[in-house]
Structure 1
Amino acid sequence: MIKVGEIQELDVVKITPKGALLGLKGSDEGAFLPEKEIQEKIKIGDKIEVFVYKDDKLLATTKRPKIVAGEIGFLRVVETTRIGAFLDWGLDKDLFLPFREQFGKIERGEKYLVGVYVDKSNRPCATMQIKRLLSTNSPYKENDKVFGTIYSMNFEMGAFVAVDNKYDGLIPKNELYGVYRPGDKVELRVTKVREDGRLYLSLRSKSYKQMDRDANTIINKMKANGGELDLNDDSSPRRIQEELNMSKSAFKRAVGRLLKEGKIEFTRRGIKFKTMR
């Protein structure tokens, strides 16, 4: 069966002056490849890699759209109408974003994070409801390193991530350090795989590795401040986060290591490099 919205290899089953009909062996279904898309001489039986979409009929193109069915990415709006918007996805025919699939006000010329799905009429369409495109059946386990795209932010819960642009994950609020927004690419560590398959994620590596990095961050900050840092166990979590981009517990662990190694000492206001006597 020809898969609409996907890149696939099809056989040339018929050649006409206007193009070629492509299909699969044993199937009557075909997708038309216009003559302008044919870059070299072809013959019946040849295999061609194409992307298939639907207009009034199934069409094939050798061009690769910016995103295909099941993928997400930023696309620019080229037109808005009462029923939806049209997005530039790299093909001659723009991608339709139905009104019911939109969030907020959509403006021409702006880019929005969307995913591609195939609607009931077998046409590729865009949606801003990314979550429904994602699977919870990932191959990952605890402590695996993964890559993903933040697709939504929630002040109470954290950041929602499309891992590999395929699997649903969450960076809980207490693991979210720094400033992020939808569309940001992130490298993460799996901290838990829930029973439903959803991934819990962290921007931080395992504790012993992260402690080294946190300690280096503190050392570098002290060097920049003339060898001292006006932070200690009594400092507020918010101030530590603003100064060092780490949690208070991470700060305390790293300071404890530096104290044990004899690199720093406490002062009345914070910490400083230990004076060699």
Structure 2
Amino acid sequence: MIALGNYNTLKILRSTSVGLFLGDDEGTEILLPNKYVPHDFQIDDRLEVFCYLDNNERPIATTLKPFVVRDNFAFLKVVEVNDFGAFVDWGLEKHLLVPYREQNGRMEEGKKYVVHCYLDEESFRLTGSGRVERFLSNNDLDYQANQEVDILVYRRTPLGWEVIIENKNKGLVFETDVFKPMAIGDRLKGYIKNVREDNKIDVALQPIGAKMLEPTAQMIFEKLQQSGGYLPLHDKSSPDEIKSELHLSKKSFKKAIGILYKERKITIDPDGIRLV
């Protein structure tokens, strides 16, 4: 069965003037329009495609990669608001509708929101919802302390940041555990800190027991990780070079790399700093 709102690996059945007809093992067919047809293909080849309904509500396949798939969450931008609701850009030609009934407050054009994509059982259409908590459940939890998880930040509270864990559960990163800038829509690695008796989940941003670095040192450490383990900056670099790359003063930079060096996380070489 072809799953709407998700990726499907389908066999090329035949080529026509409008595109390729693809099929699954149960005999269901779907069209891949000409603009998505690969340059080189053979009948009976298998293609991975995303399947959804086009503007005429017909099942259609595409090789475009959406920003969210069915039963998942993403941080999406509103591109239009009309009488039906808000339409968000999810990476496909047809925008995803978030009806007014699925909005916590009226969504505004140009702003971004965390949205859940689901298949509406009444209309059989892929639909977006900004009421994300109704798609989260903390029943039957099976997390271990210090377990690494994927998290999506979706709301700020007086206690900290509420996050979606592994696309299904709700957790909280306490403000006292935040050591770097965070924002709604951030996708991060988290670590299960505690599962409470009432099934509320506390999440940390680094492994439990790991020594927390001073924030500026942590920022440089993460920048090194993102840059392949090397930055062409050192204690002889000019203040302008440091400010351009890291938005730090030279004094703050030298203090931070001193901490990283003392913790044996970097080496300081004549041409830059490197992760150990």
Structure 1-normalised TM-score? 0.66
The alpha carbon displacement at 1:197 in A equals 6.2
Q: Which residue of 1 aligns with 2:12?
A: 12
Give the counterpart letter for 2:37 in structure 1: I
Partner of residue 128 from structure 2, selected from 126, 129, 145: 126
Does the aligned pair in 2 maintain the 1:12–1:20 contact within 8 Å? Answer: yes
Q: Which residue of 2 aligns with 1:38?
A: 37
Q: Which residue of 1 aligns with 2:23?
A: 23
Q: Which residue of 2 aligns with 1:150?
A: 153
Structure 2-normalised TM-score? 0.66
Give the counterpart letter for 2:156 in structure 1: M
Instruction: Give the Cα–Cα distance (whole angstroms) in 1 for the partners of residues 89 and 11 of structure 2.
Output: 28
Number of equivalenced pairs = 212
Does the aligned pair in 1 maintain the 2:32–2:62 contact within 8 Å? Answer: yes
Partner of residue 162 from structure 1, selected from 161, 164, 168: 164
The alpha carbon displacement at 1:86 in A equals 1.2
After TM superposition, the runs of 4+ consecutive aligned structure 1 residues lying more than 6 A away are none
SS at match of 2:86: strand
The alpha carbon displacement at 1:32 in A equals 1.3
Q: Quickly say closer, same or farther: Cα 1:92–1:213, change in 2 above 3 A.
A: closer
The alpha carbon displacement at 1:99 in A equals 1.0
Instruction: Give the Cα–Cα distance (whole angstroms) in 2 for the partners of residues 19 and 145 of structure 1.
Output: 43
Q: Which residue of 1 aligns with 2:69?
A: 68
Unaligned runs of 5+ in 1: 218-277
Instruction: Give the Cα–Cα distance (whole angstroms) in 1 for the partners of residues 200 and 49 of structure 2.
Output: 33
- The equivalences for 1:62-101 within 5 A come to 62-101=63-102
Q: Which residue of 2 aligns with 1:141?
A: 144
Give the counterpart letter for 2:155 in structure 1: S
Q: Quickly say closer, same or farther: Cα 1:132–1:18, change in 2 above 3 A.
A: same
Give the counterpart letter for 2:9 in structure 1: E
Give the counterpart letter for 2:48 in structure 1: E
Q: Which residue of 2 aligns with 1:271?
A: none
Larger Rg: 1
1:87-113 deviation line (CA, Å, top 9, x unaligned): 122211111111111122322222222
Instruction: Give the Cα–Cα distance (whole angstroms) in 2 for the partners of residues 197 and 49 of structure 1.
Output: 38
Does the aligned pair in 1 maintain the 2:100–2:106 contact within 8 Å? Answer: no
Does the aligned pair in 1 maintain the 2:13–2:21 contact within 8 Å? Answer: yes
Q: Which residue of 1 aligns with 2:52?
A: 53
Instruction: Give the Cα–Cα distance (whole angstroms) in 2 for the partners of residues 39 and 94 of structure 1.
Output: 24
Give the counterpart letter for 1:151 in structure 2: Y
